[in-house]
Amino acid sequence: MSIALITGASSGIGREFARQLKERGDIEEFWLIARRRERMEVLAEELGIRARIICADLCTEEGICAVRTALESERPQIRVLINAAGFGRFGAHDQISERDTVRMIDLNVKALVLITHMALPYMEKGGRIIEMGSGSCFTPLPNFNVYASSKAFVLHYTKALQYEIKKYGVRATAFCPGYVHTEFLDAAGTDKAVNRPKKTKPLLSVEKVVRGCLRASEKGRTMYVTNWYTKMQHVLFKLLPDRILTTLWMGMQIEADTEKVSENENKD
C-alpha cells in the first residue's frame, strides 16, 4: 500500500499537499501528523480514503517516539514524505522567549531530520521527500534570525541528502516559498511588540505553490523556489555580500513599539 506521510497536516501547506496528492490518485493511505486532532479528522473525512492520524507535538521526545513506534509496528511502504510542520517568530533575540527559540529549532530542524531518517528505510523506489525550507533561507536575517537559520539548515541538509539517497531511487526537494497565505504569519508575531518586516503582502496562494512544488519534486529537482520575487532574491543573495543584504533587509523592518513591549512585559 502506497502511503503519504505528512507532518503539519492540520493546516496550510501540509494540508494542501494532502489534498493535491489525493487528487493525483496514486496514494492509498495518508498518515497525517500534527497536534490538532479535530483538524486532521476533518481532513481525513474530506480525503475519503484510509488515513491514520498521529496526534503528536514534534518538539517533544514523546511526539517523535509516537511516529517512530507507528513506523516500526506498521512498516509502511512510503511513496511521499512531506515534512511541513514548522513555525517562525519575528523579533530580535531578546524579543523571543527561550522556549520559542528552542522549539523553532526542535521542530524546524531536529524533528524534520529525525522523521526523515526514520522514514527512509520504508521509502519505496521512486519515492519522494519534500522538506520545508523557505524563501528566508538564503541569507542571514536579523529579527528572523533563528527561523531563517533553521531553514538554511533545511536547504543544505536536503541538498546533501539528495546525493546520499539517489542510490535508493528516492529524491528529495527543498521547498522554498515566499510568504504564503496560511496561518504562519499570525503565529509569527506580526504584532507591534516585536521588530518585524514592514510588508509581508501580497501573499502567495497555497494551492499554486504546492502544485508547483509537486511538479518540481516529480522532475527530481533538489530545490523549488516559488515566485519571481523569491527567485530574484535567491539570485541577488548569491551575488551580493551579506553586509549589503542585511542592510537592505533592515531597511524593510519596523522597530518594535516599545510601549507595547513594556505593556506585554507587565502582563507577564
Ligand X SMILES: NC(=O)c1ccc[n+]([C@@H]2O[C@H](COP(=O)([O-])OP(=O)(O)OC[C@H]3O[C@@H](n4cnc5c(N)ncnc54)[C@H](OP(=O)(O)O)[C@@H]3O)[C@@H](O)[C@H]2O)c1
**Binding region for ligand X (CB under 6 A):** 8-14, 34-36, 39, 57-59, 84-88, 107, 132, 134, 177, 179-180, 182-184, 187
Minimal distance in Å, beta carbon 76 to ligand X? 19
> For residues 143, 179, 160 and 171, what is the CA-based torsion angle, rounded to 10 degrees?
160
Our CB check for ligand X shows the closer of 159 and 261 to be: 159
Stretch (H or E) spanning 116: helix 112-119
Minimal distance in Å, beta carbon 33 to ligand X? 7
Whether residue 161 contacts residue 116, with contact meaning beta carbons closer than 8 Å, is answered with: yes
Minimal distance in Å, beta carbon 65 to ligand X? 13
Minimal distance in Å, beta carbon 98 to ligand X? 16
CA atoms within 13 A on the CB side of 102: 5
Which residues, in sequence order, are CB contacts of 243 under 8 Å at separation 6+?
A: none
> For residues 268, 149, 154 and 87, what is the CA-based torsion angle, rounded to 10 degrees?
20
Stretch (H or E) spanning 41: helix 37-47
Q: Which parts of the chain fold into alpha helices (H)?
A: 12-24, 37-47, 61-74, 98-105, 112-119, 145-165, 184-188, 206-218, 228-239, 242-251, 258-267
Minimal distance in Å, beta carbon 132 to ligand X? 4
Our CB check for ligand X shows the closer of 8 and 127 to be: 8
Minimal distance in Å, beta carbon 7 to ligand X? 6
Q: Nearest to residue 7, comparing CAs of 123, 114, 95, 126?
A: 114
Our CB check for ligand X shows the closer of 87 and 229 to be: 87
Whether residue 29 contacts residue 52, with contact meaning beta carbons closer than 8 Å, is answered with: yes
Our CB check for ligand X shows the closer of 183 and 255 to be: 183
Whether residue 194 contacts residue 95, with contact meaning beta carbons closer than 8 Å, is answered with: yes
Our CB check for ligand X shows the closer of 87 and 122 to be: 87
Our CB check for ligand X shows the closer of 191 and 257 to be: 191
